[in-house]
Amino acid sequence: MSADELDAEIVQEFLIESHENLDQLDQDLVALEQSPGSRELLGSIFRTIHTIKGTSGFLAFNKLESITHVGENLLAKLRDGVLVMTPEIATALLRLVDQVRGLLASIEHTGSEGEVDVAPLADELRELLEAKLAEAAQPAAAKAVAKAAAVAEAAAVAELAAVAEAAAVAELAAVLEPEAADAPAPVEAAEPPAKAEPAEVDVRSAIGDATIRVDVNLLEQLVRLAGELVLARNQITQRAGNIGDEELSRAAHQLSLVTGELQEGVMRTRMQPVDHIWSKLPRVVRDLSTQLGRTVRLEMEGGDTELDRTLLEAVKDPLTHLVRNAIDHGIEPAAERTAAGKPGTGVLRLRAAHEGGQVLLEVIDDGRGLDGPKLAAKAVEKGLLPASRVETMSSQELQQLVFIPGFSTASKVTNVSGRGVGMDVVRTNVERIGGSIEVESEPGQRTCWRLRIPLTLAIVPALTVESCGQRFALPQISLLELVSLDTERAASGIETVGEAQVLRLRGSLLPLVRLEEALGLQRPAGDDGMAAVVAVLEGNGRRFGLVLDRVLDTEEIVVKPLPRALKDIGLYAGATILGDGAVSLILDVASLSRRQLQGEAHDDLQAANTSRQSGADDERQLLVVSVGAQRRVAVPLEVVTRLEQFPLADIKHVGRRDVVRYRGKILPVVRLADHLSELADSNAEFVPGVVYTSRGRSVALLVEDIVDIVAEGSTVYSDVEDYGLIGSALIQDKVTEMLDVRAAILAADPHYFDDQPEGEITAEQVDDYDADYDSVGAS
């Protein structure tokens, strides 16, 4: 190894060590402000700065040496109790740390210290030291001696006696000559710590023996190999099971055990405690709360929780953003807090814990919380959501609005957290690594941001599923539940609203995505695809059901990146190799939801038309609604574009007609009860409405209740007619009247069909229905 290489290596070591030390220093300094007298902390800080000073002198980084030297002088006085820690000194020292960090970064990138001028800060520190010394030294010259002696004794007990004594004597000398802090200090100060070095080295090397530095790339390679081994193990175990040779089975079992342990061990090498990223936060909190005039106490719990280092890196920014956000928008200024009857000091809690194979990270503040109605108003104002939708949302749902792109809770942009980076970016970043985020808040009391992060990215628990004879892997993290539809329910359980398929799940409608349609799969001959499983998934903050043929197994899969040409498809998160050696694609739940649920509100005539034609062979579906106290009225489902809940208060009379504001437009409505000369039954806050849209024109038929969706085939018609009806039928043993849809639409909007050319699908569709019915009714 040449001298240059050796030098480079030493500098590299120095940089790594110093960066670690600086992180420690940040923490220690902030902690020191809380407990100004802690000798342990002061000692640790002093040692860190001293080490950097010593090494930088050795490596001829003069700026670094001179600035750390001044800092060391200041610290020496603090450690010896001559000076007491004040916020002023803490700020100065933190700035010192920043400058050191800057110099180190410059050395790392350019190999030299760069053009930074360290003199101003050095002067400032020196002046501060003199000013403070002048304050402290005058009346206490004698006291200082006594104090220093006591301190030295205490130190002597704590540290190795012989070394400490030497140091104590030297330090005592330094204290006895206050002027030594100036010009002759380099020599003076450099001496005693040099003697103290052996003790530190001893302590360090004891730790050093138990740990080594390993190249991250080597670790990554080991993890990859362990992953391969797991796959090979899976294949061998499966085949050994098939062969039934006892000895082979035993060997396979042994292999399986060892592989499992090896994998676990290798994975652990990638694990780092959450503390690793938390360590930077006390400094962030301190700086920010000082800047904003907040008093904040930071509490951290579960810092030893371990997480894959790549994931840890990935959550660093979101976490920092949440912390900044909590101080900026969450925790109020002290005056406001006391006025609200809360303690003046706000508490920001960081919590980490393992929970069900995931790591739970929480950022909790006891600040003003999220104001649901205010969020709702803002979402409507910004045109992100229609008012009608917002009003039906629970306060929990309202709080999740902050994650919508384009939403930022600060009414004015501050330089702290309102830099155009909203919570939507936080969510995107968290979801990118397979995590999830939610917020829970009690207005005026607290806000809790909850992140769930997978333990590791390389190996994920997944469900192997099948559709049209092809297997896919579905990461379990996005899976909420599985709903099995047997042959009978597959036909009747899935209903359509407009052209969207939905499943009624515990009273609410779940939008469905058929995997075979999303991927354009060809169903092999002889497979009727009748039996189905609905995987209830959550992606992009939306819940939806993925319709599959069947679920095969749960497996720990090793995620392999896709070749570039296939990444662009965007439907797959990667590929994996299953137990039998076959390659399987991993479905990207977030992008599936994004692609397939975009068209939530297809007002598209074309789509309605196609769906109608494709469904021509199917039985017609009827939507049964209740009108008035007990009348049941059926509407063909194909004319239903959407079902909505309209707030009663929003329905206004304009002339002789009723209208409601809906998605930024005026929507004509007709109360079916009025239309059919029935008394409206309820005065509920929300009125269910059946929205019919074509060519951008919509009308809504208001009803009392949505009762059911039934297949028309099961109905028996009679030709009892009444105004607004075209007959009646017995549906589920109840007399149900068939609505004259055209008449009802005209009642809401007399000009509805005016500008539609003859033979237009919608009109035809409605007419068709009438005609169909007439023929049945007449027979």
577 binds other proteins (CB under 8 A): yes
Q: Are 266 and 300 in contact (CB under 8 A)?
A: no
Among 247, 381, 528, 568, which residue sits at the site for other proteins (rule: CB under 8 A)? 568
For other proteins, which is the closer residue by CB, 519 or 766?
519
The residue among 578 and 710 lying less far from other proteins, judged by its C-beta, is 578
Question: Which is nearer to other proteins, 412 or 564 (by Cβ)?
Answer: 564
- Which 467-486 residues touch other proteins, going by CB under 8 A? 470
- 330 DSSP 8-state letter: I
The enclosing H or E element of 439 equals strand 436-442
CA atoms within 13 Å, Cβ hemisphere of 681 = 15
Q: Are 308 and 457 in contact (CB under 8 A)?
A: yes
Of the two residues 86 and 470, which places its CB atom closer to other proteins in the complex?
470
Q: Which is nearer to other proteins, 38 or 235 (CB)?
A: 235
Minimum distance from residue 416 beta carbon to other proteins (Å)? 41
What CA–CA distances, in Å, run from 394 to 105, 132, 404, 448, 644?
49, 58, 16, 17, 16
For residue 706, count other CB atoms closer than 10 A to its CB. 17
Minimum CB separation of residue 281 from other proteins in Å reads 37
Interaction between residue 238 and other proteins (CB under 8 A): no
The answer to whether residue 771 forms part of the interface with other proteins (CB under 8 A) is no
- Closest to other proteins by CB, 3 or 565: 565
Does 502 bind other proteins (CB under 8 A)? Our answer is: no
Residue 564 is a binding residue for other proteins (CB under 8 A)? yes
Does 74 help bind other proteins (rule: CB under 8 A)? no
Which residue of 60, 206, 565, 679 would you call a contact of other proteins, by CB under 8 A?
565
Cβ atoms of 691 and 698 within 8 Å: the answer is yes
> Shortest CA distance to 430 belongs to which of 512, 542, 555, 322?
322
Provide the b/e sequence for 643-672 (b: ≥16 CB within 10 Å).
bbebbeebbeeeeeebbbbbbeeebbbbbb
Q: Which stretch binds other proteins (CB under 8 A): 61-69, 72-80, 476-484, 578-586?
A: 578-586
Within 8 A by CB and 6+ apart from 393, the residues are 376
Could you tell me the smallest distance in angstroms from the CB atom of residue 582 to other proteins? 6
Inter-CA distances, 23 with 27, 30, 114, 322, 536, Å: 7, 11, 22, 20, 44
**Partner residues linked to 346 by β-bridges:** 296
Question: Which letter, b or e, does each residue of 271-284 get, where b requires 16 or more Cβ atoms within 10 Å of its Cβ?
Answer: ebbbebbbbbbbbb
Interface segment toward other proteins; rule CB under 8 A; list 90-98, 264-272, 453-461, 517-525: 517-525
Q: How far is the CB of 568 from other proteins (least distance, A)?
A: 7
Nearer to other proteins, 373 or 581 (CB): 581
Q: Among 571, 607, 761, 776, indicate the residue that binds other proteins (CB under 8 A).
A: 571
Q: Which CB atom, from 517 or from 619, has the smaller least distance to other proteins?
A: 517
In the bound state with other proteins, the residue whose beta carbon lies nearer, of 99 and 467, is 467
Residue 340 in the binding site for other proteins (CB under 8 A): no
> Is residue 217 at the binding interface for other proteins, with CB under 8 A as the rule?
no
Closest distance to other proteins from the beta carbon of 584 (Å): 6
Tell me, residue by residue from 128 to 157, as one string, x for binding to other proteins by CB under 8 A and - for no binding. Answer: ------------------------------
Stretch that binds other proteins, among 107-115, 339-347, 389-397, 513-521 (CB under 8 A): 513-521
Give the nearer residue to other proteins in terms of CB position, either 558 or 729. Answer: 558
- Considering beta carbons, is residue 561 or 599 the nearer one to other proteins? 561
Selected binder of other proteins within 280, 560, 612, 620 (CB under 8 A): 560
569 binds other proteins (CB under 8 A): yes
The pair phi, psi for residue 151, each rounded to 5°, is: -60, -45
Task: Write out the DSSP string of 232-250.
Answer: HHHHHHHHHHHH--HHHHH
Could you say which of 583, 629, 666, 735 contacts other proteins (CB under 8 A)? 583
Our finding on whether 221 is near other proteins (CB under 8 A) is: no
Interface pick for other proteins out of 210, 212, 582, 778 (rule CB under 8 A): 582
Provide the residue count of the chain: 779
CA–CA gap between residue 764 and residue 745 (Å, rounded): 14
Q: Return the range that interacts with other proteins (CB under 8 A); candidates 23-31, 59-67, 227-235, 248-256.
A: 227-235
CA distance linking residue 588 with residue 575, whole number of Å:
11
- Neighbouring residues of 514: CB distance < 8 A, sequence distance ≥ 6: 501, 546, 547
- Asked if 384 and 390 touch (Cβ cutoff 8 Å), the reply is no
Nearest approach, Cβ of residue 459 and other proteins (Å): 14
Measure the CA–CA gap between 744 and 553, rounded to whole angstroms. 51
What track of x and - describes contact with other proteins for positions 518 through 547 (by CB under 8 A)? Answer: -xxx--------------------------
Smallest separation (angstroms) from other proteins to the CB of 560: 5
**Least distance to other proteins from the beta carbon of 577, Å?**
5
In the beta sheet, which residues pair with residue 175? Answer: none
Q: Closer CB to other proteins, residue 504 or residue 567?
A: 567
Q: Does 563 bind other proteins (CB under 8 A)?
A: yes
**Site track 585-614 with other proteins (rule: CB under 8 A), x = hit:** x-----------------------------
- Among the listed ranges 163-171, 331-339, 364-372, 565-573, the one in contact with other proteins (CB under 8 A) is 565-573
State yes or no: residue 575 binds other proteins (CB under 8 A).
yes
In terms of phi and psi (left: phi > 0; alpha: psi -120 to 50; beta: otherwise), the region of 215 is beta
Amino acid at 233: R
Taking the C-alpha atoms of residue 125 and residue 216, their distance in angstroms, rounded to an integer, is 39
Cα–Cα distance measured from residue 282 to residue 300, given in angstroms and rounded to the nearest whole number: 10
Should residue 231 be labelled a site residue for other proteins when binding is judged by CB under 8 A?
yes
Cβ burial, residue 303 (10 Å; 0-12/13-18/19+): middle
- The window from 236-244, 289-297, 562-570, 622-630 that contacts other proteins (CB under 8 A) reads 562-570
List the structure tokens of 350. 């960081």
The only residue of 404, 566, 680, 711 in contact with other proteins, by rule CB under 8 A: 566
Q: What sign does the dihedral 469-475-478-479 (CA atoms) show?
A: positive
> Would you tell me the crossing angle of helices 119-137 and 62-79 to the nearest 10 degrees?
20
- Separation between Cα atoms, residue 557 and residue 451, nearest integer Å: 23
Smallest distance from the beta carbon of 231 to other proteins, in angstroms? 6
Nearer to other proteins, 419 or 550 (CB): 550
Helix or strand or coil: residue 505? strand
* Residue number with CB closer to other proteins (251 or 569): 569
Residue with smaller CB distance to other proteins, 521 or 761 = 521
Q: Smallest distance from the beta carbon of 579 to other proteins, in angstroms?
A: 12
**Shortest reach from residue 100's CB to other proteins, in Å:** 39
With CA atoms as reference, report the closest residue to 481 among 441, 530, 533, 429: 533
Q: Residues binding other proteins: what is the number (CB under 8 A)?
A: 25
Q: Which stretch binds other proteins (CB under 8 A): 183-191, 384-392, 393-401, 581-589?
A: 581-589
- Distance CA(570)–CA(308), nearest Å, equals 25
For residue 690, give the nearest of 710, 678, 704 by alpha carbon.
704
Q: Which residues lie near other proteins (CB under 8 A)? A: 228, 231-232, 470, 519-521, 560, 562-566, 568-569, 571-572, 575-577, 581-585
